[in-house]
């Protein structure tokens, strides 16, 4: 694992230490160490089956780890579940809404279950999106239902937001609107978000940190800008000077094998990638993700949607 997980103020909204989880013979999480700084928006990226949902469910005390520990805003959810859950807003992949109730009745239901639920705040968020409060939730579009689920999570005024692939089933416009509402809330409230996704382009403009999870292991953990600045891509056997090969994968169109290289610290700081004789290109965020996941699988043919 390559990591740069330190927060400038030394505090973390979410921290995992040696976290492991098995389901019979399948290893879902393998000695995961993770530290999400307060106030950040972190992308948790990986293919289906990488362990993203398991990690979030352990943080919510929905799944008990086999080893290691986790803290949410400084609270162990397995020792103090109620206190930890009061600090978390959770958005699952499939919106958890009651289709037979109106939108406003869904908010009222949330208020009855959470004493600190700010129903007026949730209503304002939905009003900004022109989602009628009297509309039956079962008639909402996929994007509207996702926004209702997000409004419920934001209405808890939780310090930590855990979002488990909420964009997976949304169309491009609905995904863009969802991300914008999330960013507005995080910036105005000073909360922290961990956004799980296997769609790299959706999180590229939304997040400031990147965590790549593959095969239950953290493959990379760093600032988003560092992920691109510290890597280069080449289709030739002539790496940037002093660079270390990460992994190889099929390029676009499937005609070339591309290799991702991690630059030496000095070359990354210079911004030129060091001297090279081959065709060296800047690495996109998708290239970085593909390179680390390919390395984790030992496959040159890995693709990520």
Question: So what's the pLDDT on residue 95?
Answer: 81
Q: Is the pLDDT of residue 13 over 80?
A: yes
pLDDT tens, 253-285?
777 889 999 998 655 655 555 444 457 889 999
Q: What is the mean pLDDT of residues 137-161?
A: 93
* The pLDDT of residue 266: 53
What per-residue confidence (pLDDT) applies to 268?
61
Domain 2-223: give its CATH architecture.
3-Layer(aba) Sandwich (3.40)
The β-bridge relationship of strands 2-3 and 217-223 is parallel
244/232 Cα distance (integer angstroms):
10
Q: How far apart are the first and last CA of the chain?
A: 23
For the chain, domain boundaries: 2-223, 230-297
- The CA distances from residue 164 to 4, 52, 81, 87, 289, in Å, are 23, 8, 19, 17, 18
Using DSSP's 3-state secondary structure scheme, residue 252 falls into: helix
pTM: 0.86
Percentage of residues in the chain with pLDDT exceeding 70? 89
Angle between helices 103-113 and 119-128 (to 10 degrees): 150
**Mean pLDDT for the stretch of residues 158-182:** 89
Mean pLDDT lowest for which of 4-8, 43-47, 109-113, 273-277?
4-8
Q: pLDDT grade, residue 303 (50/70/90)?
A: very low
Mean pLDDT of the 15-37 span = 93
- Alpha helix locations (H) across the chain? 52-59, 81-85, 103-113, 119-128, 142-155, 172-189, 200-204, 224-229, 265-270, 285-297
Helix (H, G, I), strand (E, B) or coil at 157: coil
Average pLDDT over residues 239-250: 88
Residues of the chain with pLDDT > 90, as a percent, come to 58
Q: Would you state the pLDDT for residue 5?
A: 42
């Amino acid at each position: 694992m390559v990591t740069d997980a330190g927060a400038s103020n030394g505090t973390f909204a979410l921290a995992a230490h040696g976290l492991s989880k098995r389901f019979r013979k399948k290893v879902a999480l393998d000695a995961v160490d993770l530290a999400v700084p307060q106030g950040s928006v972190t992308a948790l990226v990986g293919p289906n089956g990488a362990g993203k949902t398991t990690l979030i469910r352990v943080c919510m005390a929905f799944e008990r780890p086999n080893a290691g520990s986790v803290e949410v805003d400084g609270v162990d959810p397995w020792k103090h579940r109620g206190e930890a859950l009061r600090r978390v807003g959770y958005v699952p992949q499939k919106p958890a809404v009651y289709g037979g109730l109106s939108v406003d009745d869904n908010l009222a239901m949330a208020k009855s279950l959470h004493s600190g639920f700010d129903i007026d705040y949730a209503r304002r968020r939905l009003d900004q999106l022109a989602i009628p409060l009297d509309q039956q939730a079962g008639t909402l579009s996929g994007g509207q239902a996702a926004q209702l689920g997000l409004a419920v999570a934001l209405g808890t005024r939780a310090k930590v937001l855990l979002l488990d692939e909420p964009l997976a089933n949304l169309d491009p416009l609905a995904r863009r609107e969802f991300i914008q509402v999330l960013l507005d809330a995080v910036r105005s409230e000073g909360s922290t978000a961990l956004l799980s996704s296997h769609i790299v382009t959706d999180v590229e403009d939304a997040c400031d940190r990147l965590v790549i999870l593959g095969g239950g292991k953290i493959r990379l953990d760093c600032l988003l800008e560092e992920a691109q600045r510290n890597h280069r891509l080449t289709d030739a056997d002539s790496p940037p000077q002093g660079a270390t090969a990460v992994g190889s994968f099929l390029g676009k169109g499937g005609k070339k094998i591309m290799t991702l290289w991690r630059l030496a610290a000095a070359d990354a700081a210079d911004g030129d990638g060091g001297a090279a004789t081959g065709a060296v290109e800047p690495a996109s965020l998708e290239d970085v993700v593909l390179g680390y996941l390919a390395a984790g699988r030992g496959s040159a043919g890995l693709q990520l949607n």
